[in-house]
């Protein structure tokens, strides 16, 4: 990929004046502790004001920044100070960027059994990923069944709602505090999108199973978040 078109003027336009100023302070104070790039993805670890570490992920292309996320609870418009600090480090200190191979390249030379063993080890280390995997596999199987059939058909076996419910609960547990509304809303939107293959197959019953599992968790706990901007309720 050609070098992304990035400079301070572009970055400044993507953040508030306060976030940009604070991000500059973080950058110059050495708060960017890790900076690495895997393919088109920039990964950074930033030390916060109270010695808390935040993880920044920036997706790049030849035109610049495609998307950027941070594990901090910032939700007041534009990129947060941690993202600003990470991108400033990428712009001004390219020698500090560690180049890593993309995950796809790491796996490309491995056989199927080895990849499956690695995946099993990963889930053993991070059990919550099992729910994510179960949700993804269900959606992929539904898409595959549509391709091999003459037309959309409803799935006969009812889905287990448990992994969808657990993943919804995990999204809420992962929110650092009541201010992390934007991240919660976007993650729920991604989870709800898992019903699309079932709707396309005419399987309204299982689509409803998924939606009920997600919305039960959502409705039970949404009031714990500050939704003054209407992102959760809208």
* pTM higher than 0.95: no
Is 170 inside a domain boundary?
Answer: yes
For residues 145 and 147, give the distance between their C-alpha atoms in angstroms, rounded to a whole number.
Answer: 5
In a domain, 159, yes or no: yes
Does one domain contain both 85 and 138?
A: no
Q: Is 98 helix (H, G, I), strand (E, B) or coil?
A: strand
Q: At what angle do helices 162-174 and 129-148 cross, to 10 degrees?
A: 130
Average pLDDT over residues 66-73: 89
- Establish if 234 belongs to a structural domain: no
Q: Does 95 reside within a domain?
A: yes
CA distance 175 to 24: 26
Considering the domain architecture, whether residues 116 and 216 belong to the same structural domain is answered as yes
One domain for residues 90 and 172? no
* Confidence (pLDDT) at 138: 81
Range name among 61-75, 136-150, 196-210 with the lowest pLDDT average: 136-150
| End position of a domain, from candidates 80, 104, 128 | 104
If you average pLDDT over residues 19-32, what whole number do you get? 96
Residues 76 and 155 in one domain: no
pLDDT at site 197 = 83
Q: How much is the average pLDDT of 125-138? A: 84
Residues 82 and 154 in one domain: no
Mean pLDDT across the stretch 69-98?
91
Same domain, 100 and 155: no
Q: Do 18 and 44 have their domain in common?
A: yes
The gap from C-alpha 14 to its chain's centroid, in whole angstroms, comes to 19
- Answer yes or no: do 119 and 211 share one domain: yes
d(CA 188, CA 202) in angstroms, rounded, equals: 23
- Residues 80-105 have a mean pLDDT of 94
Residue 53 has pLDDT above 80, yes or no: yes
In 3-state terms, what secondary structure has residue 173? helix
* 3 assigned to some structural domain: no
Asked if the structure places residue 83 within a domain, the reply is: yes
pLDDT of residue 154: 52
Instruction: Give the model confidence (pLDDT) of 93-112 as tens digits.
Output: 999 999 999 888 889 989 99
Asked whether residue 203 falls in the same domain as residue 148, the answer is: yes
- Both 120 and 211 in one domain: the answer is yes
Q: How many structural domains does the chain have?
A: 2
> In terms of domains, do 87 and 185 share one?
no
Is residue 230 domain-resident? no
pLDDT for 178 equals: 45
Domain residue limits at 167: 112-224
List C-alpha distances in Å: 141 to 20, 57, 146, 159, 192.
Answer: 45, 30, 9, 12, 17
Of all residues in the chain, what percent are helix, strand and coil, respectively (each to 5)? 55, 15, 30
What pLDDT does residue 230 have? 52
Strand order of the sheet with strand 64-70? 64-70, 53-61, 41-47, 32-38, 98-100
Looking at the structure, do residues 196 and 96 belong to the same domain, yes or no? Answer: no
Listed residues 70, 87, 104: the one ending a domain? 104
Write down which residue in 104, 129, 147 finishes a domain. Answer: 104
Q: Is residue 2 part of a domain?
A: no
Mean pLDDT, residues 183-211: 83
Average pLDDT score over the chain: 83
């Amino acid at each position: 990929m050609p070098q992304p078109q990035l400079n301070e003027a572009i970055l400044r336009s993507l953040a508030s004046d306060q976030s940009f100023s604070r991000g500059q302070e973080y950058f110059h104070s050495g708060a960017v502790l890790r900076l690495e790039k895997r393919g088109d993805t920039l990964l950074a670890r930033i030390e916060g004001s109270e010695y808390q570490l935040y993880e920044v992920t920036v997706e790049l292309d030849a035109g610049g920044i495609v998307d950027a996320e941070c594990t901090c609870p910032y939700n007041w418009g534009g990129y947060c100070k941690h993202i600003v600090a990470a991108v400033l480090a990428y712009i001004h200190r390219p020698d500090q960027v560690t180049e890593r191979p993309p995950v796809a390249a790491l796996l490309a030379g491995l056989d199927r059994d080895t990849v499956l063993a690695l995946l099993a080890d990963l889930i053993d280390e991070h059990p919550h990923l099992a729910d994510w995997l179960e949700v993804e596999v269900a959606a992929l199987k539904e898409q595959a069944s549509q391709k091999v059939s003459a037309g959309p058909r409803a799935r006969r076996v009812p889905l287990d709602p448990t992994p969808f419910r657990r993943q919804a609960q995990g999204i809420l547990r992962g929110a650092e505090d009541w201010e992390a509304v934007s991240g919660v809303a976007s993650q729920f939107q991604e989870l709800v999108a898992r019903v699309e293959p079932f709707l396309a197959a005419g399987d309204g019953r299982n689509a409803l199973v998924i939606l009920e599992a997600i919305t039960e968790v959502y409705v039970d706990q949404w009031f714990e978040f500050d939704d003054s901007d209407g992102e959760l309720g809208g």
